[in-house]
Structure 1
Amino acid sequence: MDLMRLGPAGREKPAVRHDGTVYDLSGITADIDGGFLADDGIAAVRRALAARSLPELQDAASLRVGPPVARPGAVVCVGQNYAAHAAETGDPPPSTPIIFFKHPNTVVGPDDDVVIPPTAEKVDWEVELAVVIGRRASYLSSHEEALACIAGYTVSNDVSERDFQIHQSGGQWSKGKCCPTFNPLGPVLVPAEDLGDPQDLRLYSTVNGEARQDSSTADMVFGVAEIIRHLSQYMALDPGDVVNTGTPQGVALSGRFPYLRAGDTMTIGIEGLGEQRQTVVGH
């Protein structure tokens, strides 16, 4: 099953897509958020589907698709987590996870416009597997404990402004990561038990229909379980938090492709999790 949030920004309805039909979850929860995930909301949806008690969401296909989790308390990101991407930036693979943050208000729907900041000249794309936390992760001792804290997975575009990130940063990356609209998320949240192995997924991106990234999560330097275990030693991850797990090679920072300009379109996808498409617009 695929959890979704459909409707105008700020007024999305919680929904689930199952066997090709989209059902309204408003009778179960007001939204798909940290509280819903912490209260075993996914299990409640499964029970409702089994009981065939959910009403179909009318005109679902005509509704805007919002980010599949509402109001994440944190968006935590892992840098240079694919060896080939580290190499294309001129760095060796990291010996320990590189961590930075995005402001939660960067999160928008998977097909919403991406806005270029007024002084930006080096806006870049990054397809990433995003982890959504379902139970508090703090001082975990094993990969098994880490995986048990994951509610599900979705597609993330970690949009970046490279001059802000590198030359105006003062040593921290977040200036280049936190502009409004810089984290399209979705289209769906797939529960962890429905996805299978998160380390065996194809992920890809295109710009204006031309291939950019095409890789596999098998190439991560640090796998999903280790990322969550590692993060829990330094911070507590709460239900609804989002963790972006890094991007593979094929970004504009490599020098092989031009940076984004107004009018460009990005397609970002991951096997089993769907595809998102954004148009780049000026401020």
Structure 2
Amino acid sequence: MSEVMFNGVLPALVTPFREGAVDEAAFTALVERQIGGGVHGLVPVGTTGETSTLSHDEHRRVVELCVKTAAGRVPVIAGAGSNATAEAIELARHAKAVGADAALIVTPYYNRPSQEGLYAHYAAINEAVQIPVLVYNVPARTSVDISNATLARLSRLPNIVGIKDATGDMVRASEQRLLCGPDWVMLSGDDPTALGYIAHGGHGCISVTSNVAPDLCAAFYNAALAGDGKTALYWQDRLVRLHRALFSDASPAPTKFALAHLGLCREDVRLPIAPASEASRQTVLEALREAGVI
């Protein structure tokens, strides 16, 4: 496997809340727990971080806090997406200014741009900010799907370095690797299929499950990236029900419930996300037991 800028498991960090505000102490402790568990990087203010309901000031503060707490021990890829190109540029500039190692920028949602519009969006960010950018493709949430052909064009720009691919499409991964070349960073955004994604040439995963079980996820990715298929499959089997359980209700409500059960933060979410249902809670608890987390 070629050396790339980012690999392994990078948690898509939750943003803990307390009494309606960001719980900075809990967030710092969660970051320390992730690093102690052996993760390979950190991703604040992504989808799992409820970025869509954070104010701009809160968004910036969480990125700053993550960078400060990580203190260079692992890279920080800061969420900086928006469906307005100018706003994405502003967030990416802030990420660079506070010392983030890269920006994760989702395909513009709601607008439903064409492939040419998508290319122009990322090309504008590439020109405006000198920071490595990962494209985040999650058509189930954005209603737009960036094509491999467009990614191949973007891969030729100096600051567009890779992708977080949440499609679960393995054939797409192989074709994309051939089109974009060996230096293109390929991170899965789908925990259950990440083992297959790595087998198709991927380099790791921006993971929801790592919030709950960083040490187990790190062991899985260390095995998978080392080519130890037997050990990787052991961890896959141990974690797969937990991967599913954390999406048994609107994310990140089940993940925050799991973290609250572990005593790591409150389970507070922001509307329109509601707390995990009772059925989801039972599913999460069963999966935590099966994985050996509790």
Q: Normalization by structure 1: what TM-score?
A: 0.24
Query: Could you state the TM-score of these two structures normalised by the residue count of structure 2?
Result: 0.23
Higher relative contact order (CA 8 A, sep 6+): 1
Indicate the structure with greater helix content: 2
* More strand per residue: 1
